[in-house]
Structure 1
Amino acid sequence: MKYKDIINKMTLEEKASLMSGKDFWQTQDVERLGIPNIYLADGPHGIRKQKDAADHLGLNPSIPATCFPTAATVANSWNEELGEKMGEYLGEEAVTQKVNVLLGPGINMKRSPLAGRNFEYFSEDPYLAGKLAASMIKGIQSHGISACVKHFAVNNQEERRMSIDTVVDERTLREIYLTAFEIAVMEGKTKTVMSAYNMLNGEYTNENTHLMREILRDEWNFEGVVVTDWGGSNDRVAGLVAGNELEMPTTAGETNKEIVAAIQAGKIKEEVLDECVDRLLDLIFTTQEAFNKPTKEFDVQNHHQMAQVVAEESIVLLKNDENILPLPKGKKVAVIGDFAKEARYQGAGSSIVNPTTLENTLESLEEAGINSIGFEQGFDRYGKKNNTLMKKAVALAEKADVVLVYIGLDEVTEAEGLDRQNMSIPQNQIELVNALYEVNPNIVAILSCGAAVELPFVNKVKGLLHAYLSGQAGAKAILRILAGDVSPSGKLAETYPIRYEDTPAYHQFPGKEVSVEYREGPFIGYRYYDTANVNVLYPFGYGLSYTTFEYTNMNLSKDGATFTITNTGKVAGREAAQLYVGCSSDAIFRPKKELKGFTKVFLYPGESKTVTIPFDDKTFRYFNVVTNKWEIEEAEYVIMIGASSADIRLEESLFVEGTGAPLPYEKEKLPSYYSGKASNVTLAEFENLLGHKVPEAKWDRTKPLGYNDTIAQCQYAKGMFARFAFKAIKFSHSFLWKIGKRSTANLIMMSVYHMPFRGMARMTGGIMNMPMLDGVLMIVNGQFFKGLRHVLRERKKMLKAAKGEGIINASSSSKGEVL
């Protein structure tokens, strides 16, 4: 141990006190031994350190910080160097604000387009997500602080996220849902990992020894700190045994006492605690060094300019019929759409950043050289029909040479804690585009949202520019692309299906009660569409430019693929070239092709560059469930170089020697997986893949409700008061939604409806403890007066104990939610 001398001087109680927060954002300190507290803050795309009372919902304002594009946007850059540079800027701002641990990046897979937090995640592909995350981590940690990769692992839905059991086979787990984390840990060297809320195959992730010890610690040699998602601790002692150092936020000492009691009773050895304390002390002392040097305020304008550069390289041009873009000088342009007036530039929830400045489209048109003849709102951003707005927009469009229509999803549709109900954008926006088309076919749509949407209007527009959520400088970045000052180079990091029903998880998303089954196995995103021959609107890796690129002269070696890219157009531009690998053998089921490398090249008109995409330890591997390790199948492999997953420009075969592992599957028992048509797998076939029975997916409505049941389950509780409370919550949500208080309505669903009962103790910073919760559960389960007496008695005991110990919980007046 690095800090054995300090640990030997600590009392058992002091050691345990370090294992949970001091308040909502800080760790505990031990003043007599010179152990300071450290500060953790949200930061996937900008620092969110709050000035006043702490909460996790973004209700209280945070210190102004640069709002960079979200991960879903940055992924479209396909540029590791850019990701590292953005990380450096984030790290600099974190040091300025005295933040030791920046809670990001988020790297969960986009299993379904409807997952509410997709805007905060990179991709449907683990290799792309892992590489970009590793680069961002390096940038953040170059300043001496820590990044925190989240949410580990298989956290792919928001509904019931604090209690849902994710059922996934081991091979899919390793190849799809853990590979990005593996890259982030082993290549990015992240110092901190955040465990996810959900269960994985029957165990909460932060208690899952297979995940936390066998894989994270033993295989990946992770020596850093694991922190729970806020309120994500279930059994604190089990979490400690699994190697979960830090529980956040504070529980006012309650769980620390559980650790002390477990050691005193001989349930766990004190050495287990010492190991965790040692790793946490290392994080504390090494990150504190970042603040030893004199710090100065960061250059706000310089950071804003960096946010613009990231946005410019991440925006994707999806359609450009008749070369409608870039806009010719002098053309009369009508600007239409509520998102032009008030940009949709970031997600909602714990990642909300208070930007240092915010570019405005309407105020930047003249600077961009765009000849605007006027602006009309066109639609209500929350979907309410308004014929007056539409008529005014149509009248303006009639007078224009080109119409720019800014459309997308609103802030309450894409939000942490909630999944989207469908893949549609509001009908009033679609009707607006149809109406504009009737009077002016020269339409360019600028789309702003953080995940895939259906685009039924795509044939009514000549140009389609996808801005995603492009940060505080996004408005100006969009205009520079529209005007031709920048040639677009973003490419999709996720597939755009034609309709939601075509998606592989359509029948299994989300899990509504006890569990969610990942029956599609490894066939998510393009892995499914390409293998099952499902038509898509825009494929993975797709994006247009104002120039053209030619790929030639491919040469393979055992170390990688070398080829030449030439800019055959008339303007300078960047091209993201992608390496895919497919196995010619059918002995083991696999996707038709998988991304195994990429590079981004800048070329002037007529310029050629020879580039190499190297092979690595992930190029040919698969996870064998018989040997329980990574193996290589001996076979011919097709090496493909493409401009997208559907636009393969160069292709050659390469024989690769294998590791001689036994075949892991009986082909005849897994027909859906061997065909790749895995969107509607039967229970029996999925159980064959899993190797065991699937747990019951429905709630047992005969049992009393317990700690890990959700407040939504009060609908069938024995207690009349609980059933009434459930109806009141449902009514409140419905009423608030109808009167336009949609953010508040969402808050009810996220922080009340889907919250497990244990969250009352884990998320309230000491206002309620577990003995009090026992009384609440008595009320819920039909013992109203007994339960009420119990709550009041335990509350009195808690206050008396707190007074006796001199405990002042600075954060007890703030309720929080999740990271």
Structure 2
Amino acid sequence: MAKSKFKRIVLKLLKWFGIVVALILVILSIVVIVNLNYDKPSLYVSEENLQKEYANTDTKVMAKNLVAQMSLDEKIAQMYGEPYASGMAKLATNFLVKKRFAHIYVGENKRLGIPPWVLSDGPRGARVLGKDVKGVTTFPVGMARGASWNPDLEYRINQVIASEMRANKVNYAATPCINLLRHPGWGRAQETYGEDPWLLGEFGVAAVKGLEKHNIMACPKHFALNSIENSRWVVDVEVDERTLREVYLPHFKKTVQKGKPASIMSAYNAVNGEFCGSNKELLTHILRDDWGFEGFVTTDWLMGVYDGIKGVQAGLDVEMPFQQVYTQEVIQEGLDSGEISESDIDKIVTRSLSTRLKYALIDDQDNYPTSDIGKPSSIELAREAAEESMVLLKNEGILPFKNQEGKTIAVIGRLADLENTGDRGSSDSKPLYVETPFEGIQKHHQAQGNKVILDDGSDLERAKELAGNADEIVLVVGFTHEDEGEYIIFSREQMEEAAEAGKSLGKVTIGGDREDLSLLEQDEMLIKALHPMNDNLAVVYVGGSAIDMSTWEDDVPAILFSWYSGMEGGTALANILYGNANPSGKLPFSIAKNQKDYPPFTPYTKNFKYGYYHGYTLFDKKGTTPAYPFGFGLSYTNFTYDSLAVKTQEISMDDLLEVEVNVSNTGEVDGKEVVQLYIGFSNSTVDRPVKLLRGFKKVHLKAGETKKALLDVAAKDLAWYNPATENWEVESMTYELYIGSSSAKNDLLQSTFIVK
């Protein structure tokens, strides 16, 4: 009897358990379906929602009128992305089920007819994917494009990215990344353009203008001094005023004032004791009061601001992507205590509305059909970008490989046939396809009937035998998103613990900073094993920044930096290796002979001081010879410089220095050369770099052709920042002028001029 009763209880419990499980599954299914098929409201002011405020074309007046009609809760709803729970569910569901980045809608107010705006990351291609869109045109990473030294190319790339964002029903791009590379170990180095503020500024302006051309709100990031990844949520960067103004902010200033982006993204880290999301000195005094920025500021995604009241006080406009500290409770607490006022809230909401309404009033969505994604011209541009980006560092006469029949080519390395376009964090882009190095080389040789053999290099003896029997070896080495990139860890506490300990605590993470600049051990072993087997060996490096090649560079005859080269990287690589394209990339950073020659770098830290010198300015100041200088890159032809002329030897403080120089292609093939202009400050009364980049131009020259390159420099761009007067000052003195093919002294012609 007791057994029977027990059995009935068990059966009843199992029945109820089954019902509960079934209900949970039903609820989860509903959540998944709802979040995969979320509503996509229009981003534009529609006729049925048109209200009297929109009749006024002055969006500042429109915004002010609309804010006057809002309740406090409605105003707060303009200050964050989506509610935390529903927004996180949407984001997670789309990542896990569809492997896509969901649309996050911000600032919609149906009562007042205000449409939302929606963000996509996009440093190398549109991030958000619309319905039935399988992928997008994916370009080389930012560092590769910086190596092209071609801002016009960057402008065209961002036009394509913008048009594909529009086709995916997006109108805001969290790009470009213009943080300065102060140390090559920075995990997100691949997203930016290099180590020099002038180079960064020129590319930042080009990117913003390309995006804004298609009515995409551009958002340069991360403001400011973000160049340590593993401690990004907790590190406080100390910097003096001159270093801040002259080294870490000029590129942001130029991008803001010349590019005129709609928005700026604040950084996670603190600067001089205050986190960037609530740093009034950065967001208000410098960005708005000093530079005249009129757009709106958003946080970096997730935990981008830690104190909502301080955020309002500092002038932070929108918390992204979810509401975490800009809550009704926090704002009301600040209002009750008198720390903030409703007029502060009004100012924030009016600022963001007045900017984004400019875009909401232009309904040209029909101009961007999804059929335009991955157009032949866009794919051709991706290949062109990859070719112009690749930097030939060393070539003992073996490249380009000969195009002839009857050859056996060995493509070796664990990355040789890997679809490897860069990190998997916010800069990720889902390509329509990826052509690997092996696939590109194999396709190149199909017409000639040559044998192309793939080997991952895991069996050293087999790889050595293959190398010994092949006519030429392409050895692909480097990194993936597991080795470098955005540091993916979702616990601020864990990051803080590691920062306090000064080391990794062994938590499961993705990407992050590189503490050792050497290649992985298996790659170095492969290079050392294979180079004695064949003289026709080219090492192709895949990665986002500088590496230490000191243990093997003397052993190999050719080294090519191919970077993370995008969806057309394989074709571009084959074209470079076999001479269909002439390499024209130049290093956007310096490479040291010894890792100790770089400035200090600590990935796990709560406090760090940034100095005035880094990169080529540090090497110049210390008299240290780098392994490869900033701006260096070889070609399959030779270029010479002569007839340097300064048009006016003396200029005033308001003048433009005009310079010309003859550049000649003395070789037998057409090529492109990057003419670089530097200014020297040896006569300065204050501590200044030996020289600074102040201009560059990429010139195409046919074999045997000479062209006159014209460059100019504004006298105001020679200024230094005087903390005592809080002003930029140009010294009256004699300056040095350098023009040539790299920052190395031996590669530069020299002259002088005077500023009166």
Same fold (TM over 0.5): yes
- CA shift at 1:200, angstroms? 0.3
- CA shift at 1:93, angstroms? 0.7
* In 2, Cα distance between equivalents of 1:316 and 1:607: 23
Equivalent position amino acid for 1:44 in 2: P
Equivalent position amino acid for 2:382 in 1: A
Q: Check whether the contact 1:577–1:600 (CA below 8 A) recurs between aligned residues.
A: yes
* In 1, Cα distance between equivalents of 2:147 and 2:529: 31
* In 2, Cα distance between equivalents of 1:112 and 1:618: 28
Q: Check whether the contact 1:106–1:121 (CA below 8 A) recurs between aligned residues.
A: yes
* In 2, Cα distance between equivalents of 1:100 and 1:207: 26
Equivalent position amino acid for 1:464 in 2: I
Which 10-residue stretch deviates more, 370-379 or 93-102?
370-379
Change (3 A) 1:78 1:358: same
Equivalent position amino acid for 1:510 in 2: T
Q: Counterpart in 2 of 1:517?
A: 609
Q: Counterpart in 2 of 1:337?
A: 413
Change (3 A) 1:253 1:522: closer
Aligned to 1:544, which of 621, 634, 638?
634
Deviations 1:77-123 (A, max 9, x none): 10111010001001101111111111111111111111111111111
* In 1, Cα distance between equivalents of 2:287 and 2:713: 24
Aligned positions of 1:265-276 closer than 5 A: 265-276=337-348
Q: Check whether the contact 2:136–2:373 (CA below 8 A) recurs between aligned residues.
A: no
- CA shift at 1:256, angstroms? 3.6
- CA shift at 1:194, angstroms? 0.2
Q: Check whether the contact 1:343–1:475 (CA below 8 A) recurs between aligned residues.
A: no
The answer as to 2:63 corresponding to 1:18 is no
Deviations 1:507-527 (A, max 9, x none): xx2264431112xx2210000
Secondary structure of the 2:717 match is coil
- CA shift at 1:468, angstroms? 1.0
* In 1, Cα distance between equivalents of 2:337 and 2:532: 77
Which 10-residue stretch deviates more, 640-649 or 146-155?
640-649
- Number of matched pairs: 636
Equivalent position amino acid for 2:569 in 1: G
Q: Check whether the contact 1:145–1:290 (CA below 8 A) recurs between aligned residues.
A: no
Q: Check whether the contact 1:122–1:493 (CA below 8 A) recurs between aligned residues.
A: yes
* In 2, Cα distance between equivalents of 1:289 and 1:355: 31
Aligned to 2:529, which of 431, 435, 451?
435
- CA shift at 1:206, angstroms? 2.0
The answer as to 2:529 corresponding to 1:529 is no
Q: Check whether the contact 1:334–1:372 (CA below 8 A) recurs between aligned residues.
A: no
Q: Counterpart in 2 of 1:488?
A: 583
Secondary structure of the 1:368 match is helix
Which 10-residue stretch deviates more, 97-106 or 275-284?
275-284
The answer as to 2:211 corresponding to 1:136 is no
Q: Check whether the contact 1:20–1:248 (CA below 8 A) recurs between aligned residues.
A: yes
Secondary structure of the 2:219 match is strand
Equivalent position amino acid for 2:451 in 1: I
Deviations 1:688-720 (A, max 9, x none): xxxxxxxxxxxxxxxxxxxxxxxxxxxxxxxxx
Secondary structure of the 1:32 match is coil
- CA shift at 1:162, angstroms? 0.8
Q: Counterpart in 2 of 1:613?
A: 711
- CA shift at 1:494, angstroms? 0.7
Q: Check whether the contact 1:642–1:650 (CA below 8 A) recurs between aligned residues.
A: yes
* In 1, Cα distance between equivalents of 2:330 and 2:351: 20
Q: Counterpart in 2 of 1:799?
A: none
Deviations 1:51-87 (A, max 9, x none): 69xxxxxxxx995122111111000010111010001
Change (3 A) 1:463 1:178: same
Secondary structure of the 1:623 match is strand
The answer as to 2:751 corresponding to 1:652 is yes
Aligned positions of 1:270-669 closer than 5 A: 270-289=342-361, 291-294=363-366, 295-297=368-370, 298-300=372-374, 301-330=376-405, 331-369=407-445, 372-379=450-457, 386=458, 389-417=459-487, 418-455=512-549, 456-505=551-600, 509-510=601-602, 512-518=604-610, 521-556=611-646, 557=648, 558=651, 559=656, 560-616=658-714, 619-646=717-744, 647-657=746-756
* In 2, Cα distance between equivalents of 1:225 and 1:448: 36
Secondary structure of the 1:553 match is strand
Q: Check whether the contact 1:333–1:371 (CA below 8 A) recurs between aligned residues.
A: no
- CA shift at 1:500, angstroms? 1.4
Which 10-residue stretch deviates more, 359-368 or 592-601?
359-368
Deviations 1:609-635 (A, max 9, x none): 212111125531111111112111222
Aligned to 2:217, which of 146, 154, 166?
146
* In 1, Cα distance between equivalents of 2:340 and 2:715: 38
- CA shift at 1:265, angstroms? 4.4
Q: Counterpart in 1 of 2:499?
A: none
- CA shift at 1:569, angstroms? 1.1
Equivalent position amino acid for 1:530 in 2: D
Equivalent position amino acid for 2:369 in 1: K
Q: Check whether the contact 1:335–1:372 (CA below 8 A) recurs between aligned residues.
A: no
Change (3 A) 1:35 1:260: farther
Change (3 A) 1:190 1:617: farther
Q: Counterpart in 2 of 1:750?
A: none
Taking only the aligned residue pairs, the percentage that are identical comes to: 34
Q: Counterpart in 1 of 2:124?
A: 45
Secondary structure of the 2:574 match is helix
Deviations 1:35-61 (A, max 9, x none): 111111111111111569xxxxxxxx9
- CA shift at 1:17, angstroms? 1.4
Secondary structure of the 2:339 match is coil
Change (3 A) 1:586 1:6: closer
Q: Check whether the contact 2:422–2:480 (CA below 8 A) recurs between aligned residues.
A: no
Which 10-residue stretch deviates more, 268-277 or 111-120?
268-277
* In 1, Cα distance between equivalents of 2:424 and 2:341: 43
* In 1, Cα distance between equivalents of 2:567 and 2:400: 23
Q: Check whether the contact 1:527–1:594 (CA below 8 A) recurs between aligned residues.
A: yes
* In 1, Cα distance between equivalents of 2:215 and 2:353: 15
* In 2, Cα distance between equivalents of 1:444 and 1:586: 45
Secondary structure of the 2:319 match is coil
Q: Check whether the contact 2:79–2:326 (CA below 8 A) recurs between aligned residues.
A: no
Unmatched 5+ stretches in structure 2? 1-59, 89-103, 488-511
* In 2, Cα distance between equivalents of 1:261 and 1:287: 34
Aligned to 2:186, which of 115, 122, 133?
115
Change (3 A) 1:198 1:288: same
Unmatched 5+ stretches in structure 1? 53-60, 380-385, 658-819
* In 1, Cα distance between equivalents of 2:531 and 2:513: 32
Q: Counterpart in 2 of 1:247?
A: 319
* In 2, Cα distance between equivalents of 1:460 and 1:254: 58
* In 2, Cα distance between equivalents of 1:459 and 1:129: 32
Change (3 A) 1:284 1:620: closer
Secondary structure of the 1:547 match is coil
The answer as to 2:272 corresponding to 1:201 is yes
* In 1, Cα distance between equivalents of 2:700 and 2:603: 44
Aligned to 1:96, which of 167, 185, 194?
167
Secondary structure of the 2:165 match is helix
Secondary structure of the 2:660 match is strand
Q: Counterpart in 1 of 2:236?
A: 165
Q: Check whether the contact 2:137–2:373 (CA below 8 A) recurs between aligned residues.
A: no
* In 1, Cα distance between equivalents of 2:631 and 2:706: 21
Equivalent position amino acid for 1:522 in 2: Y
Q: Counterpart in 1 of 2:260?
A: 189
Q: Check whether the contact 2:305–2:325 (CA below 8 A) recurs between aligned residues.
A: no
Change (3 A) 1:604 1:374: closer
- CA shift at 1:458, angstroms? 1.1
Equivalent position amino acid for 1:17 in 2: A
- CA shift at 1:326, angstroms? 4.0
Secondary structure of the 1:166 match is strand
* In 1, Cα distance between equivalents of 2:439 and 2:244: 48
